[in-house]
A and B are shown apart, each in its own frame.
Chain A
């Protein structure tokens, strides 16, 4: 990369500079886990359960070990690893702890659950070995649906939870809420509207599946684990505990990653089993999840069932909100978040951008015989936003008001706002984004285009207005009573002899461009080119304990830590320059061109580094040798809220029930965008995933718990042909307490899209009287609704 020089106003933040990652990625020179090949490396494959729910009476691997190419095969007893347990600090009536074994023993709880690991000289032989395993089952009645889980009729999924409920929390219940609903029902003008909504089970589906290459290093007495995780330190912690190693005996490194979306922010079982096998065999072991495993046996998300009602005054103001949400978390609680991740998020955040004066919520997590779940981009917010936005639309319909106007009357407009959910919202542009989104669609002529188009298709327009808490600090997670509180981040910055700097971050880019955006943040603090900043991430031996990247935390928390460390380093440089110039430190400043101005002198950083490292006798007494600074950052209070309004125009084909998205507009506000094109990329990708959930993707099972979508023929990931071009407009309400005023931008697209699409489809169905509240939206239901109308 050439010398980018200095920007005229001296700032990198806000500029669409070339991405530091691009030269290698675009030229195919990135290095992903599967690109790593080590001498004597072996390949792992897993014997997986073919039953959804069964007692395991025997695992016989003797034939496996005879298969040509197979080097070893281990079951749970062979590896003797401790279980993975994730806990909440909640009483027994609210939370039932369960454990996930690394390899199943005694009992299996979903089809695809790993029972044994086979290690062979190539992946083909490893799969041959898997086929030679003999597992004997004593089948139990599978618990396949949330309804079956709650009915608790047969053998429970976990003995510890006889009713199949792992989490049952009622976080809020405003006193007198029943009276509010009763009064609204009795009043002539007020209305009470209800929504029963189901959202389908989804796979976050990173393009790069999960994977690991592990080997034991005798010289370092260390297990080296190269894996594509969003949370390297948590993998280290769990692996060390499972294998009975010291943390210092495990080093987790992360190469380039092809996405994670939350599926990789929990600790999986296969990487631990593969690493344990590598340690046992003293040979490198690689496991790359194949697409069938990814679709059937990886971490899933999103399957929720809402029963919600809201009371509205005659003039469209929300009076009360009452919700019951049941989240189908599958077979196990994930580490570190637990099965509480979805119900707690929904319960804590559902009122969203609206002034809700009375709120009651019950959130439950049930366990079923399906693959377990992990957080997925947005975590519950795509679903509860969808439910809130349906309530808004339904109230508008019943009250005979415009649905955008109803939102306008309810959105929070004065900040900071203390919500009914005990959350303080920092300033945002809820009303402004709503107005602008509507204006854009009006200017483009869409608002006048309802009814049928020339092909006889029904046109509908839908909106969604929402905010997204980003930068959850330790306090915010502690409020959820997580026992592991992933709040802070630590950065260390070191300047070398030539004045270039290396900065560590505990956050971890799995596609978000941290090498670019963090360099911009640091470069601004020190007044150097962003190409002079090297970002180190994803290596537990080189980085102080960090929490990785999820929940839109990287720039807000990690970026702020990097900024704080940079400021400290700048202060050190100024101290040295002041001493050399014989002036007070207050008479020095960074000159914005890679040096310190001290009195009449300018000291280039390289000159100060020369003193710091090579001529330490010249240093002031209170400054030690070397140039290193460390800083941490945590978000106090309730974090910072990004917000957006999405607008969607659809055309429904009465002859087929087919849906085409004609237009999609996103007006987003993530505070100050460090790199606007990166933000737009996040929005576009997120919207595509939201549309996927609204219209296409669903993980389905038959009544015995057998997966029905093991390939991309059945699991319908939308392609470029299904995803519309998206118009993105930016608003900017800076955050007052993060570096540069940035807010998180990672999840908003995914959050807003299902609601906007579903509302648009319902708008197009308005004349039929049919309302749909399930995703993915069944084309058969659209067809049936429009056929009724044609017939009448």
Chain B
């Protein structure tokens, strides 16, 4: 890990330099805030988080895992609190409780008569409550607010290194396991029949989801991260009938909302997490209305033409 650090810092500097070349193309008053180091860090974090959330959100949307994403993100809170108590890096605790909760949900589902939505609701509220109780004992309310709602302007270098690492792992995993993941998402029974280890794929995908959530904590916070895991994928699903295009569009939506939301939050002086999610929701609304094939306008237009042709 410690040998990795200088390497990761070098990569971060290189990526920041690349981003700044793009920022230099912006008009003066928009580009000005990015002269500050903390703004550059916030920008890079937003781009990375937008990208990996965009990728994962395609699987979340197609697999109907929205509630699971919500559950894992809430379950991360006690991990953050316990790590804080023990003086560990927050992401280790977050990852452990997030992963444990998803395992617990699976166990309840399989071994009792409780249905999956109840199992999820039960597990994540319990974990979240535990987190609230611990934090209320040990930390200030500002600290709690930052965990719950994110604070991208205060991202530390260590958190940025984690986000970078999570992005690399997610990208590699989706590239190397592209086909098994696609087949498992589309038709798990077929994946089983072709001899794929569906249990491994299932839990691998859940671990990727947990990793992405942990990496996004500082940017959008526990409460809103699930929006970044649903909205980009849902927007892309309205715009295309190809899985690869869906991945690309979803990443574009994720990155655009993260960056535009960051800029808006600075210029309007509002919470960054909320601004990012509102931009994403706005993009979804545009797609919902105006998507060429699956949008509401196009659907009504087709129905109207059909009715007129029959009349």
A-B complex is real: no
Interface set of B (CB-CB < 8 Å, partner A): none
